[in-house]
Copies of this chain bind each other. A is one copy, B any other.
Amino acid sequence: MSVEEILKAAKTASVTCATTSEFARDAALTEMAEALRLKVDDILEANAIDMAAAREAGTKDSLLDRLMLDEGRIYDIADALEDLRNLPDPLGVVEEDRILDSGVHMQRISVPMGVVAMVYEARPNVTADAAGICIKTGNACVLRGGSMAHNSNITMARILHDAAVEAGMPQNCIQAIQTTDRSATDELLNARGMVDLLIPRGGAGLIQHCVEHATVPVIETGVGNCHVYIHNPANIQMAKDIVINAKCQRPGVCNAIETLLVDQDIAKEALTVILPALHEQGVILHTDPLASGIVQDLPGIPAIVSTMQDWETEYLGLEIAVRCVKDLDEAIEHVNRFGTMHSECIVTEDAAAAERFLAEVDAAAVYWNASTRFTDGGQFGLGAEIGISTQKLHARGPFALEALCSYKYVVRGTGQVRA
């Protein structure tokens, strides 16, 4: 089917999806989980084709690891669908209920978005995560995964679709784009009236492309140029633990930090402890002139002199930029200028300074004496996560079921007209 035909079918499915019962949607998630487990061989076979092609193309190991499925991973994906099933129904929630002056009865009720399009890169688990979350929220979904995972994606999407339909959801409630042609993404981005929400998930290039070219509503996700700022007075040991955790625990994710800011009057004391610890973890240091001076006194710790570009860089790896700042004002200014409104942390023993940072830094999540790594749907208790929004419209920070719902006003009268 062409993208246009897929979207028409999705639109039709979405009308029925919107009126399915909680029971039907939860039953579909049970069937979908079970189908993945039963058809694990089909999925592995499709994944093997993708893996072979990716290896042949010289794909690097970290990407191959994202692409790779095995029985354990598929069972984890199935378990996640059951976790989703166990969450409360997000639909039909009466958010407001009142009799208006005219005597009509007005309710504001949560409803599905309609048709949700997901555009993502090489991780085939997103196929199941996105399909599951759309079924839970009564949305029809159109999936556009990375071409590298194409066989894995269409195989999983077909299995998930058939299981959902078996359980009573409408035909075409889950569809994957069948072509790897790049123009299909642009068709989705411009399908006004057919796509109610588009969510891009992937690298900065993909997100940027979607945000710049979309005429349909988009939630911008995931680019994280995050900071830890050490403000005098600070517990240096605590600062070290937070910096090491936020930088090194999983450097490739968006809630990892990229720049360390430190008040210049405790820079020597703090960096003398923290930079060797970062070096020990294999982190490459990009230091500003003041920090570079401190590094020179630390035997065996190499550092590269930072440039303006370092403040803007999301390394997504074991590298960090280090800048000494005059005071809280300069730190907040730096974070608001170079940050991507994702996750920002201050380490300090000064409560008033902390509260100013929490209030004035413009980010989805602001931390005082805790690691930025907590910005995560699971950690925040959402029960699921489809992405982390770095925009302020509709959803901010980790988002899941609530963000895939809208609301409508339902008004019941007995013939009232406006005076």
Contacts and interface: CB of A to CB of B under 8 A. Distances in A.
Interface of A: 15, 18-19, 98, 100-102, 104, 106, 113-114, 192, 196-197, 211-212, 215, 217, 219, 235, 238, 241-242, 244-246, 249, 336, 354, 358-360, 362-371, 373-375, 379-381, 391-394, 396-397, 406-418
Contacts of A394: 393-394
A22 B242 CA distance: 35
Contacts of A409: 364-366, 375, 380, 396-397
A101 B98 CA distance: 38
B18 A418 contact: no
A106 B409 CA distance: 31
B358 A410 contact: yes
Task: Tell me the number of copies of this protein.
Answer: 2
Contact of A19 (B211, B238, B360, B411): B360
Nearest to A392: B406
A245 B106 CA distance: 19
Nearest to A405: B392
A219 B217 CA distance: 9
Contacts of A392: 113-114, 196-197, 217, 406
Given A370-B104, A407-B396, A413-B367, A362 B15 contact: yes
B100 A381 contact: yes
Contacts of A249: 417-418
Contacts of A18: 359-360, 362
B418 A373 contact: yes
23 contacts: A18-B359, A18-B360, A19-B359, A19-B360, A102-B374, A104-B370, A212-B215, A217-B393, A241-B415, A242-B415, A244-B417, A245-B418, A358-B410, A364-B408, A365-B410, A367-B412, A368-B411, A369-B412, A371-B413, A371-B417, A375-B409, A393-B393, A397-B408
Given A215-B212, A365-B411, A374-B411, A379 B100 contact: yes
A366 B336 contact: no
Contacts of A391: 196, 217
Contact of A15 (B101, B336, B368, B381): B336
Contacts of A417: 241-242, 244-246, 249, 370-371, 373
Contacts of A101: 379
Task: Kindly name the residue among A114, A414, A415 whose own CB sees the greatest number of chain B CB atoms within 10 A.
Answer: A415
A174 to B, nearest CB: 20
Given A368-B411, A413-B368, A379 B215 contact: no
A98 B374 CA distance: 14
B192 A211 contact: yes
A238 B359 CA distance: 54
The 9 tightest CB contacts between A and B, nearest first, are A370-B413, A245-B417, A392-B406, A373-B418, A394-B394, A217-B393, A238-B415, A365-B409, A371-B417
A277 B215 CA distance: 42
Contacts of A381: 98, 100
Given A114-B362, A393-B394, A371 B416 contact: yes
B113 A366 contact: no
A375 to B, nearest CB: 7
Nearest to A235: B415
A353 B307 CA distance: 67
A240 B35 CA distance: 54
Nearest to A345: B411
Contacts of A366: 408-411
Contacts of A211: 192, 215
The CB with the most chain B CB atoms within 10 A, among A114, A362, A380, is that of A362
A106 B378 CA distance: 13
A416 B365 contact: no
A411 B373 contact: no
A249 B418 CA distance: 8
B217 A370 contact: no
A104 B217 contact: no
